[in-house]
Amino acid sequence: MALSALFLLVFLLQHFTINLTSVFPDEGKTFNSLSHFMGTNPVVQFALQPVLILGVLFHFIMGFILEAKNKGARPVKYAKTSGGDNSTWMSRNMIWSGLVILAFLVLHFVDFFFPEINAKYIASDADLSNDRYYDHVVHSFASPIRVGLYVVSFILLAMHLLHGFQSAFQSLGARHPKYTPLIKTLGKAYAILIPLGFIFIALFHHFNQ
């Protein structure tokens, strides 16, 4: 679970880095160039992309399994519990924030991944111009409802990461009085700045239509 989390953290950073170029003042040229490379490079498409999909599925399935095991470990509930005494709200609700993120990923697949697969491998009259990536991003953020869902999803992702980042390192044994404060600081910075960056990208394109 921890290893798949770290793998997805690296992917999220890479995804954000490419998406951020869509706000560059070059009319999407940098973004289109990077997206075209990612969308046509055989190593990315036929090696890294399947690994990513499997990593996402593994992470969420393991999350459900661990949640079920934790609940099954004590079939009789405590007479009285006070979760806030020894855990944060984020840690107690990882499964719910994870479910919302999963729903967002499904929407993202329907909105971008499946049409891209259809354009490249199925539809013979599809638009395969290199500038279609930027146009698609701009069009996707035209709807205020879509942008609102996007913002809520990334707020919940931030809450998920606030616990998940340091939890992943702790699960791997990286807990030491000297290094743990640094890991927590990096985790908070990552959990706040990356989702905030994605939200900025969505709002930027929405208000610059």
CA dist., res. 87 & res. 175, Å (int): 17
CA dist., res. 152 & res. 202, Å (int): 12
**3-class secondary structure for 22-79?**
HHCCCCCHHHHHHHHHHHHCHHHHHHHHHHHHHHHHHHHHHHHHHHHHHHHCCCCCCC
Q: Where are the alpha helices (DSSP H) in 93-179?
A: 94-108, 114-121, 132-140, 144-171
Tell me what pLDDT residue 21 has.
97
Domain membership flag for residue 57: yes
Provide the terminal-to-terminal Cα distance of the chain, rounded to the nearest Å. 40
Give yes or no for a contact between 193 and 155, defined as CB atoms under 8 angstroms apart. no
Domain that holds residue 9: 2-72+92-207
Domain membership flag for residue 86: no
Domain membership flag for residue 77: no
Q: Where are the alpha helices (DSSP H) in 111-143?
A: 114-121, 132-140
Tell me what pLDDT residue 40 has.
87
Return per-residue pLDDT of the chain as tens, 209 residues: 888 999 999 999 999 999 999 999 999 999 999 999 998 899 998 999 899 989 989 998 998 888 888 777 766 665 555 555 556 666 677 777 788 888 888 888 887 888 888 877 787 666 677 788 899 899 989 999 999 989 998 998 998 898 888 888 888 887 778 888 888 899 999 999 999 999 999 999 999 98
Domain membership flag for residue 122: yes
User: For residue 62, with 0-12 CB atoms within 10 Å meaning exposed, 13-18 middle and 19 or more buried, which class applies?
Assistant: middle
CA dist., res. 108 & res. 140, Å (int): 10
Q: Output the furthest CA–CA distance in the chain (Å, rounded).
A: 64
How many domains does the chain contain in total? 1
Tell me what pLDDT residue 51 has.
92
Domain membership flag for residue 112: yes
Q: How far is CA 116 from CA 91, 128, 141, in A?
A: 36, 9, 17
Neighbours of 197 (CB within 10 A): 16
| Centroid of chain to Cα 93 | 17
Domain membership flag for residue 80: no
**Whole-prediction pTM:** 0.85
Domain membership flag for residue 36: yes
Closest CA to 161 of 202, 196, 192, 183: 192
Domain membership flag for residue 140: yes
| Single-letter amino acid, residue 44 | V
Tell me what pLDDT residue 85 has.
55
Q: And the tokens for 133?
A: 């990536």
Tell me what pLDDT residue 90 has.
67
